[in-house]
Amino acid sequence: DAGITQSPRHKVTETGTPVTLRCHQTENHRYMYWYRQDPGHGLRLIHYSYGVKDTDKGEVSDGYSVSRSKTEDFLLTLESATSSQTSVYFCAIQGNNEQYFGPGTRLTVT
Amino acid sequence: DQQVKQNSPSLSVQEGRISILNCDYTNSMFDYFLWYKKYPAEGPTFLISISSIKDKNEDGRFTVFLNKSAKHLSLHIVPSQPGDSAVYFCAAGVYNQGGKLIFGQGTELSVKP
């Protein structure tokens, strides 16, 4: 157990509404990541953080923003949700070279 | 542009036999590789990794082989057990680049009793 929780675990929202997903870690790790998992694509990096207030884009960052005001929390925001953002979202923290993942959030945008 | 590819979406193996999962990559800059296992409704869990300076790494029933010239890695599970049934993802990264990983599409392994 890498001490990572995600909330909510499930969410259904309507197109055009803002949505924020939360990742919380208890391990004091510097690096945190947000991925989305879709059939046929594996996991794709959305954004990552290398410290408080330090973030950078991943390969599928359009339509997403992140914030990290405390070491333990990494927030992912969809400013205006679209149906293409229906997915399962995973947060991860960095170990040595491996990453440890949270349980995921299933987001459905109707 | 899929830099990491798992060309087999699924694999079925008999219990006790060997499972071989394959992964190909295109970016020669990758210098470490990892395998993850994922059960439904759970996050991926780290299984085993290998640095590009090695060609084999073993951990219990799991062995990863790396062929750099072919840009190919494989995960061997011996003997396979029904509890190994899951989706397996390979991933690749470059040292000192923020730990960012590129994942393959995944292979669903089914181990039949």
Strand order in the sheet with A64-70: A4-7, A19-25, A73-78, A64-70
- Per-residue pLDDT at A12: 98
> Is B43–A101 a contact, with Cβ atoms under 8 angstroms apart?
yes
Q: Is B99 close to A94, i.e. CB distance below 8 A?
A: yes
Residue A97: predicted pLDDT: 81
Closest approach of B67 to chain A, Cα-based (Å): 20
More confident site: B54 or B97: B54
Q: Do B34 and A98 touch (CB under 8 A)?
A: yes
Which pLDDT tens digit goes with each residue over A4-55? Answer: 999 999 999 999 999 999 999 998 899 999 999 998 889 999 999 999 999 9
Question: CA of B99 to nearest chain A CA: how many angstroms apart?
Answer: 7
Q: Who has greater pLDDT, B95 or B63?
A: B63
pLDDT averaged over every residue in chain B: 96
Cα A11 off chain centre by: 14
Six token digits for residue B39 = 């059960």
Closest chain A CA to residue B106: A42
Which amino acid does the sequence have at A55? T
- Percentage of chain A surpassing pLDDT 70? 98
DSSP state of A27: S
Distances (CA, A) of A49 to A52, A53, A54, B61: 8, 8, 6, 34
Contacts for A89 with CB less than 8 Å, ≥ 6 apart: A6, A21, A34, A35, A36, A37, A46, A76, A104, A105, A106, A107
Would you place residue B83 in the very low, low, confident or very high pLDDT band (cuts 50, 70, 90)? very high
What CA–CA distance (Å, rounded) separates B107 from A58?
23
Cα(B17)–Cα(B19) distance, integer angstroms: 7
Provide, as residue numbers in chain B, all residues whose Cβ is less than 8 Å from the Cβ of A43: 44, 89, 91, 101, 103
* Chain A residues touching residue B98 (CB < 8 angstroms): 31, 48, 50, 56
A2 touches chain B (CB under 8 A): no
